[in-house]
Amino acid sequence: MARKPIGVGILGAGLIAPAHAAGLQEVPQRAKVVAVCDVNREKAENLALLFDAQVYTDYRQLINDPQVELVDILLPHHLHYPAALAVLNARKHLLLEKPVAVTYKESLEIYEAAKAAGVYFGVAENTRYIQAYLEAEKLIQSGKLGKITQVRTFLPANERIRLSSQDFWGRQASSGGGVLIDSGPHTFYLLKWLFGEVDTLVAFTSQISPNGSDVEDNADVRGRLANGVEFLCSFSFTAEVPHSERLEVHGTAGSLVIDQLVNPPARFYAGPTDYDGTPLEGVAYDPMGWHYFSIVAEVKDFLNRLWENRPPVVDPLDCVYAVRVIEKAYESARNGNRPVKI
């Protein structure tokens, strides 16, 4: 007898929801959205139309819906903790948008609660599904860069308008912070995945745009990894460019530069006289689609792995670790840019 598709409830119908919905639509035999919840009923209704799904405005109703077996949480950061625990207490599978929570303690509690509940738990960290980074992993492992000495990242975006809006939840300190808690999970997951754990760091935060919000809109975090590699990670909500990501990996035998706004996006440089570099195969120039399609891919893969009872590609504990690094970065910035050991 054929298995019924997994009943999915989407909790939150904001900006990221269409990409998650598209990923769910890619596996119709394995997943079916049966419920959508948002405090804004109109948003919930519009998303539910794609699936002919039940509409709720109270997340507890969605969790208690007997048709819902998996909950996909797409809520503001500070609501992840209570909503995730409610899902896990109901012993339902969970896909949780990054960050896991706004503190390391809460993030670890969610991880432990998922283990205790014996359910399938994943964090929607699209970094692992960006083709440029998958190819970067291959290049690093090939040894062509030699001994890695330095890593630099930059995540530019423009949130000036949203941060100026009184209706935007992310402008309040109670949401957990600004650009660091929003963009940092991607970078510090990337560092953990490709290069290992952070040993020490120092962080600087600022508010460049006079938007009246309580949170930082720019941040820099630098330090040393446990393997001795130096790193510098920059984040901005005030960059007048399309949303992008940049990664530089410098070694003793060459360098890798990835920039989603450059065509081609990824090049290997064999030394200081290699002006042209060598584009990495399989990395297409798609400045408007690279981010969206990586989210679609992560959601689709999560459902396939749940169906097949295989562990998720993204280890939730690595995402918990990213929150720990972010928390330490805030500690450093808050205490006069004091170096902090992780």
Amino acid 212: pLDDT: 83
> How much is the pTM?
0.96
Amino acid 1: pLDDT: 60
Specify the DSSP element, H or E, that contains 32: strand 31-37
Distance CA 168, CA 185 (A): 20
- pLDDT of the chain, 342 residues: tens digit per residue: 678 999 999 999 999 999 999 999 999 999 999 999 999 999 999 999 999 999 999 999 999 999 999 999 999 999 999 999 999 999 999 999 999 999 999 999 999 999 999 999 999 999 999 999 999 999 999 999 999 999 999 999 999 989 888 888 888 888 999 999 999 999 999 999 999 999 999 999 999 988 888 999 999 999 999 999 999 999 999 999 999 999 999 999 999 999 999 999 999 999 999 999 999 999 999 999 999 999 999 999 999 999 999 999 999 999 999 999 999 999 999 999 999 999
Q: Compute the radius of gyration of the chain from its Cα atoms.
A: 20
Domains and CATH numbers, the chain: 6-125 (3.40.50.720), 128-293+322-341 (3.30.360.10)
Report which of 123, 183, 197 is spatially closest to residue 153, judged by C-alpha positions.
183
Q: Contact 124/151 with Cβ under 8 angstroms? A: no
Q: Contact 282/275 with Cβ under 8 angstroms? A: no
Token pair for residue 335? 């205490």
